[in-house]
Each structure stands twice: as structure tokens, then as C-alpha cells.
Amino acid sequence: MLHLRLITPADRTDEVVRLIDRTVGTTHLVVLPGAAREPEGDVVMCDVAREAGDELINRLRSLDLESCGAITAENIDLSLSERADRAERDAPGEPADAVLWEQLEEATHEESTLSITYVAFITLATMIAACGVVLDNAILIVGAMAVGPEFGPLAGICTAIVQRAPRLALRSAIALLVGFLVAMAVTVGFSWIMTEFGQFSEGKLEGDRPNTGFVYAPDAFSFVVAILAGVAGTLSLTSAKSGALVGVAISVTTVPAAANAAVALSFGDTKQTVGSAEQLLLNLAGIVVAGTLTLLTQKALWATQRPRLTKPEAS
């Protein structure tokens, strides 16, 4: 269930209440006349099944509440109520399958912001992966994959395409591009320093690497895995099952490929640099394609449920 808290101008409260009443899956309606001070107005609260949440929020937005009032939504972890149970049963579909598009846009907007923290994480992940590829250490590669934050901007691009949000698309693309460029540039310098201290060497990079040689040798499986990971990652975001994101992070070769490209570049190894760059681009493209198609499919499926979210007019 979701809990909605609305601030409505007094002259729109009745319309808001009627809209909530007519939406399937709503309950626990509370109206507090004149309770809001900034902005001034009434406070309306209700609980709504997650399956009906997106449609109700869209209907409330059509009343322009976001400019003259406010719409706030939060997840309810525990609700002991027979009315809440009935509301969940009445709403079509399953809660885990429901997509809250406004929540998704907000989450991907935050995750795709080019911040110092984001750049720090992707840079540290790339440096860890650089140690992994030189030492041919699979554990370091997996650790670097888990640390890398690049799925946020990728999800932002997918969401922006489906929701036709060019500003989010640009923001996500900038975060992705700048993040990887900075991370790779720093890793090139890191490689030079480690070489000076005798920890990295061209012989280690070009030697037999059974555990990490795949990062500069893209093939059909690279794209297939990226597609599957893109679907899984998108579903984990839209269903609020964020634990699956860890599995997604360690199944695609993005950060390790960037790291291998940077280390190879520091030694002037053109072959590995190009191969690693191809691996990186192949994985990024696969995730974006899969994520976008997954969101489009979810949007189309939930559109078929929309007519069932309105209660019939009382005779």
C-alpha cells in the first residue's frame, strides 16, 4: 500500500475527494479542512493499493495540485486493516508488478546526477577493477562491479526514452559519459604510479589471464548477458526489489572493461584498448535496449488495466 498526503485549495477539495472515492483500491480517506498553512488549504490523506497508485497520482496531477498544492506519496511497511486488505484485493494486478512512473523518474533523476560522490564511486570501482585485471583476480573484478554506480544513469536513459523526458536523458548521458571519462583518466594515472612502484607491468597485462581475459574480448554472449541484466535491473527498480541490482551489477562487464582499457592505454596496448572499449559500449547498449523495451512492455500491460481502476457510477 501507498500513503498519499495532499494539500489542496479549499475550492478543489470536493473534487479531489470524489476522484479518490471513484478510484479502485483506495481506503482510509481523511480530510482536514484548513489544516495546511504553506501553501494554505486543506489536507487530504488516503491509502491506495500500489497497483492503483500511478493512475491516481496522474489523475490528481490533472487537477494541477502540484502547482497550487502538493502531492506526497510514501510506502507503507505495515498496515493492519481489513479495509486495506480489501482495497488490495479490489485493485487489478499484483503490487510487485505495478510501476509508479513518477517515483521511477524521481529515483533515476537522483541516481543519474553527476555529483562528486557518483564520480568518486565510479572512479574507485575502475581503479579496483584495474588491480583485478592486472592480477587476473576475479574477486576484485566482482567487487569493482558491485561498487560501480553506472546502472543509475543507464536506467535514467531508459526511463527518459519511455517517458519522453529529454532533460532526464541529457542529464543521464552526461553523468554516464563524464563519469567514465574521469574514471578512466584517473585510472591511467593510477596505472602509471603502480608501474613506477613495480606493481603493474605490461607483461602482467598481456600475459595469460584466464579469469579476466574476457573483458577485452567481446562476443555474442556479452550482448546477451547485457540484455538479460538490463531486463533484471529494470524490473528490480520498478518493483522496488532493489536487492536484485547487486546481481545485475556483477553480471555485466562495464567497469572492468573501462579499467582494462585505461590500463592498456597506459602501456600503449592498442589492441586491448580497442577491445575493452568495444566490450564497454556493447554492454551499455545492451542494457539500454533491454531496459527501454522492458519499460515499454510494462507500460503497455498496465494500460490495459486502466479501465478497471475506476469504480462504476452509483445508480
Distance between CA 111 and CA 157 in Å, rounded? 11
CB 242 within 8 A of CB 304: no
Q: How far apart are CA 165 and CA 248, in angstroms?
A: 25
**What backbone phi and psi angles, to 5 degrees, belong to 70?**
-165, 150
Distance CA 19, CA 103 (A): 21
Model pLDDT, residue 309: 76
pLDDT at 290: 94
More confident position, 101 or 63? 63
pLDDT at 242 over 70: no
Band of pLDDT at residue 237, cut at 50, 70 and 90: confident
Burial label for 293, CB within 10 Å (0-12, 13-18, 19+), is: middle
pLDDT for 313 equals: 65
- Set out the domains of the chain in order of their start, with CATH numbers: 2-96 (3.30.70), 103-301 (1.20.1080)
Strand, helix or coil for residue 239 = coil
Question: 246 or 268: whose pLDDT is higher?
Answer: 268
The secondary structure of residue 154, as a DSSP letter, is: H
Do the beta carbons of residue 272 and residue 261 sit within 8 Å?
yes
Region 193-198: mean pLDDT is 95
pLDDT tens-digit profile of 167-176? Answer: 999 999 999 9
Of 99 and 200, the structure prediction assigns the larger pLDDT to: 200
Question: Are the C-beta atoms of 28 and 84 separated by less than 8 Å?
Answer: yes
When pLDDT is averaged across residues 7-26 and rounded to a whole number, the result is 94
Q: Mean pLDDT in the chain?
A: 89
Task: Report whether pLDDT(241) > 60.
Answer: no
pLDDT at 273 over 50: yes
Residue 253 has pLDDT above 70, yes or no: yes
Instruction: Select from 210, 232, 286, 283 the least CA-distant residue to 253.
Output: 283
- Contact assessment for residue 114 and residue 140, using Cβ atoms and an 8 Å cutoff: no
